[in-house]
Amino acid sequence: MIRKLFNKIFKPKLAKTEHETSARARPENAKSQHATRPVLGTKKSAKRKGNNTDNANSIPLKKHQIDRRLLSNAAIKTIEGLQKSGFEAYIVGGAVRDLLLQRVPKDFDVATDATPEEVNRVFRRSRIIGRRFRLVHVLFGDETIEVSTFRGHHEAKGDAHTNESGRIIRDNVFGSLEEDATRRDFTANALYYDPTSEIVLDFHQGFADIQAGILRMIGKPETRYAEDPVRMLRVVRLSAKLGLKIDPATMAPIAKMADLLQDVPPSRLFDEMLKLFLSGHAIESVSALRKQHLHHGLLPMLDVVLEQPMGERFVMLALKNTDERILSGKSANPSFLFATLLWHEVLAAWEVYKKDGNPPIPALHMAMSEVLASQAEKLAIHNRYTATMKEIWGMQPRFEQRSGKRPFGLLIHPRYRAGYDFLLLRCESGELPAELGTWWTTFAEADNETRQAMLEADTAPKKRRKRNRKKPSGSAPSES
């Protein structure tokens, strides 16, 4: 017991003394060896190789006149955070193009020489996304800044792959700033703006093209369209949206390469079509699509409906209303828009099912399912949109029922407003009598007494209610 007490008091001190003695006896270079071990961090002592700007035209503030007040605070914070960590970072692409055109950018993208993992370490609230090319989403409240690493050529060694037609399937190849500029699609999108120095870097005369009002492809257009056929849709959309004239060399291959769009994944095609129709310049875009023969096979409304006088009027009215809403700063419902674009396909299928002897309402639901199934092969319309589209379509026969309690039930339908606006388009295009739309407008705004007076006589045969026959009560079992 005395020995245990002795060890408890004196052993730690002895052990400490032995540890200090061994540390003093350690070789002098041991400490330096430990210090040279790699430490995981974000700070860089030097810039990456190849990121020089000698081949770029540096455009000063006096010439480009970009108003810093139009910049997003989140974009500025992202740039500052990367630059403080030793990386290069620029606002790039459509945001710079829009700023030079005196437009307020819809969103801001940032390009940097930091890898996705390095960007992720700089910003606590960020996440790495993407498979075709990895990106980082940096979150600032409700705003998200998309950060991409400078891209190298997809034919370089690395994580890249193309299919037989030349379309890029996977493209995780990082490169220099100059290589990244070459990989951009149009000269107007290959501009890099540093809000710290307020200089715009231009490798492909994009600034001059914007001033001249020209949309020009970087590199050989045939090769660039083969790499990503969606660029053919994008050039049409940007030309209509920005009022830029497509360069003849950029336009020439589109008509003969349009079939490549059949090879594009439906989800990407849907996203691009959505941007096109919600650009605020949908009518100009549709006209340009038809001119370039890009409409065939994308949507039945583009290659069938527009060839029918009533169908074309209906679709153009829908696009006109959508453009007006967007240009006035209001939101547009994609479900409503796609419901209008596909309605005449639904109508045609509905007639076929009714002729086959199906009751009207079941026939309508079969028609809706058929049209949406055929579209799934070309455009992956999201389920959240198709559900609302079906509701809008399904309400249309109910608007023609103006007797009994049916109109009152329709007024409280969650999608009533969308269905009502759809009805007005049908009336305005001549598909239905204008009187029907007027009746519903008055009915919705009237008091209850007026509504009752507006109802039509109910001539529909009333269904006989089935009475629940009471089961005869069983007799008590007899005792044996």
**What is the full DSSP assignment across 394-447?**
HHGGGGG--BTTHHHHHHT-TTHHHHHHHHHHHHHHTSS-HHHHHHHHHHHHS-
Question: 189 near 97, Cβ under 8 Å?
Answer: yes
Name the active-site residue from 98, 180, 185, 202: 185
Considering just the CA atoms, what is the radius of gyration of the chain in Å? Answer: 33
The pair of structure tokens assigned to 363 is 């026939």
Q: Among positive and negative, which fits the CA dihedral 42, 45, 47, 49?
A: negative
Q: Which of 204, 211, 199 shows the shortest CA–CA distance to 187?
A: 204
Question: 177 near 48, Cβ under 8 Å?
Answer: no
Q: Is 185 a catalytic residue?
A: yes
Question: 366 near 358, Cβ under 8 Å?
Answer: yes
Distance CA 196, CA 82 (A): 12
* Count of CA atoms in the C-beta half-sphere (13 A) of 47: 12
The pair of structure tokens assigned to 218 is 């970087």
Cβ neighbours, 10 Å, residue 173 = 20
The pair of structure tokens assigned to 181 is 């500029």
Q: Which of 278, 297, 276 shows the shortest CA–CA distance to 287?
A: 276
Distance CA 220, CA 201 (A): 22
- 3 state SS of 342: helix
Q: Among positive and negative, which fits the CA dihedral 64, 70, 72, 73?
A: positive
Residue 124's pLDDT is what?
93
* CA distance from start to end of the chain: 89
Residue 44's pLDDT is what?
47
The pair of structure tokens assigned to 35 is 């210090």
Distance CA 288, CA 274 (A): 16
Q: Is 209 a catalytic residue?
A: no
Residue 14's pLDDT is what?
45
Q: Which of 324, 319, 344 shows the shortest CA–CA distance to 334?
A: 319
Q: Among positive and negative, which fits the CA dihedral 216, 222, 228, 234?
A: positive
Distance CA 378, CA 298 (A): 6
| DSSP designation for 40 | -
Query: How far, in whole angstroms, is CA 362 from its chain's centroid?
Result: 34
pLDDT in tens, 345-396: 899 999 999 999 999 999 999 999 999 998 877 777 888 899 999 999 999 9
The pair of structure tokens assigned to 140 is 């600032």
Residue 457's pLDDT is what?
84
Distance CA 82, CA 326 (A): 34
- 3 state SS of 319: helix
Distance CA 310, CA 325 (A): 23
Q: Is 107 a catalytic residue?
A: yes
Question: 244 near 302, Cβ under 8 Å?
Answer: no
Low-confidence ranges of the chain (pLDDT < 50): 12-47, 49-50, 156-157, 160-161, 479-480
Q: Give the contacts of 142 (CB within 8 A, at least 6 positions apart).
A: none
Name the active-site residue from 98, 109, 228, 247: 109
| DSSP designation for 107 | -
